[in-house]
């Protein structure tokens, strides 16, 4: 009988309750009662149940489909659930996922006629807990050959202790690690060196908006944004090769809804005593809010706080995004009579005029164009895209005409004008084009012309 994960199972022939009773009866009948049976204080079945309930160990009978069909004893009370409540559960729900292979290997030894070795495995403290605490137990398995049990497995489960009866320091340390792991306020994940999730805590599940069960079916690569895969793999390889002892990167995990979650993932490697890589341990910090704040600060640094248009830094960033051989038209706009408004009506009215002018410039340009306030009463428009010279001239004329429209502010009517200069050329010469356009606008202001164009 093979108990590998892919093996064919013989289903239990009775319900969970009936299977438990059958197991108890078979155990009683298969036990050899020494002495005088007529002097026993109770039926052998009842005696067996009483002995098991008083046992410091826990006894499990596991059917061929890995379902617990009988349970007795309570292993020194280290489990929150009573032993009998485990009946009907599968071993995958009781034992740590990474220990199932150890248990099945021990069972395979029984199939080959060998004695099953004692193995140390982790058993769930409470099957109802949302944050499982895993406790170490030593388990010895044997085969029950009674006809009613069909070759089921008898598992003797004992709390792992040293010979002096004290908790093994390694076991205690592992239990402490599990508590810290599960209760950590930031996401934590234990993975194989191939990246398969072995253990994840609640914070990690909450961060990705998924369940522990779902994550344990996946790998780190399957939950990493495609644009961050190469960096993640390269850092992990360097860790495996011993080039680094840990790494910390900002990367995006992908939630089940497909949305990216920005995190800072710090990973170290756990090795055996001989240096063999065993697992990756990763702490995952949610930095979505911090990145949003940084982005908001970055954007605000590129914007004029009064008008909301780009400032000089924002204008430079936009120009840097253009292809060098792309043709652009640079329109420089210098307001006329704005100083009179400030001197006679005050700076608060002047600020409102600037905001209205900025709105009118926005309404005059196309979506692919970029407007900026580059000085007190100076504005620049960068016209991108494939256009003719006449298109650039029309754009500058439209801006000037809209700026000249009367502005109503707090019962007063204010009129300002604008002088415009235009320069056209490749984006690689944008800095020179801005100087030429600016010079042209000053010439227009001095001459009174609406537009001065420089080729």
- Beta strand spans in 272-416 (E): 277-286, 327-336, 370-373, 378-383, 407-409, 412-414
Order of strands, sheet of 153-159, starting from the edge strand that comes earlier in the sequence: 68-72, 58-62, 153-159, 134-143, 119-124
3-state helix, strand, coil in the chain (%, to 5): 40, 25, 35
Q: How far apart are CA 175 and CA 159, in angstroms?
A: 13
Q: Which residues contact 347 (CB under 8 A, 6 or more apart)?
A: none
Structure tokens at 201: 């805590």
- What separation in angstroms does the CA of 326 have from each of 154, 312, 386, 411? 78, 20, 8, 46
Q: C-alpha dihedral over 254, 255, 257, 262, to 10 degrees?
A: -70
Tell me whether residue 377 is one of the annotated catalytic residues: yes
Q: How far apart are CA 12 and CA 23, in angstroms?
A: 11
Q: Which residues contact 419 (CB under 8 A, 6 or more apart)?
A: 333, 334, 336, 400, 441, 442, 444, 445, 449, 450, 452
**Annotated catalytic residue within 377, 391, 397, 438:** 377
Q: How far apart are CA 139 and CA 157, in angstroms?
A: 5
Q: How far apart are CA 428 and CA 447, in angstroms?
A: 30
For residue 75, give the nearest of 155, 152, 142 by alpha carbon. 155
For strands 370-373 and 260-271, give the pairing: unpaired
Q: How far apart are CA 23 and CA 36, in angstroms?
A: 24
Identify the bridge partners of residue 453 per DSSP, sorted by sequence position: 422
Residue with tokens 């599968």: 90
The alpha carbon dihedral of 309, 312, 313, 314 has a sign of positive
Structure tokens at 90: 């599968």
Active site residues: 377
């Amino acid at each position: 009988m093979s108990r590998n994960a892919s093996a064919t199972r013989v289903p239990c022939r009775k319900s969970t309750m009936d299977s438990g009773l059958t197991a108890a009866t078979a155990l009683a009948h298969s036990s050899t009662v020494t002495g005088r049976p007529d002097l026993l204080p109770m039926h052998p079945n009842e005696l067996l149940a009483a002995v098991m309930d008083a046992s410091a160990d826990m006894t499990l009978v596991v059917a061929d489909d890995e379902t617990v069909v009988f349970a007795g004893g309570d292993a020194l009370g280290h489990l929150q659930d009573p032993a009998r409540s485990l009946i009907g559960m599968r071993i995958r729900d009781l034992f740590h996922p990474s220990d199932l292979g150890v248990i099945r290997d021990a069972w395979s030894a029984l199939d080959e006629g060998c004695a099953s070795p004692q193995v140390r495995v982790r058993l769930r403290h409470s099957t109802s807990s949302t944050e499982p605490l895993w406790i170490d137990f030593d388990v010895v398995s044997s085969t029950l050959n009674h006809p009613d049990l069909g070759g089921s497995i008898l598992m003797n489960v004992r709390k792992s202790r040293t010979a002096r009866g004290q908790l093994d320091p390694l076991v205690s340390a592992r239990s402490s690690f599990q508590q810290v792991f599960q209760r950590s306020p930031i996401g934590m994940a234990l993975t194989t060196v191939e990246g398969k999730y072995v253990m994840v805590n609640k914070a990690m599940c909450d961060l990705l908006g998924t369940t522990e069960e779902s994550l344990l079916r996946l790998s780190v690569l399957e939950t990493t944004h495609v644009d961050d895969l190469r960096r993640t793999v390269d850092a992990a390889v360097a860790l495996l090769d011993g080039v680094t002892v840990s790494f910390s990167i900002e990367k995006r995990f992908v939630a089940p809804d497909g949305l990216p979650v920005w995190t800072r993932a710090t990973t170290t490697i756990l090795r055996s005593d001989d240096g063999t890589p065993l697992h990756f341990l990763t702490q995952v910090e949610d930095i979505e809010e911090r990145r949003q704040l940084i982005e908001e600060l970055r954007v605000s640094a590129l914007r004029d706080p009064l008008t909301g248009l780009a400032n000089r830094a924002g204008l430079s960033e936009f120009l840097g995004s253009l292809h060098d051989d792309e043709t652009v038209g640079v329109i420089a706009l210098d307001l006329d009579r704005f100083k009179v408004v400030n001197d006679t009506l005050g700076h608060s009215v002047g600020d409102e005029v600037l905001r209205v002018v900025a709105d009118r410039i926005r309404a005059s340009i196309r979506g692919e164009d970029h407007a900026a306030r580059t000085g007190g009463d100076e504005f620049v428009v960068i016209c991108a895209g494939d256009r003719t010279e006449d298109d650039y001239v029309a754009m500058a004329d439209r801006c000037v005409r809209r700026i000249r429209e009367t502005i109503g502010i707090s019962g007063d009517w204010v009129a300002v004008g604008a002088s415009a200069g235009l320069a056209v050329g490749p984006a690689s010469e944008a800095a020179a084009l801005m100087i030429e356009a600016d010079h042209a606008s000053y010439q227009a202001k001095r001459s009174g012309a609406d537009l001065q164009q420089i080729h």
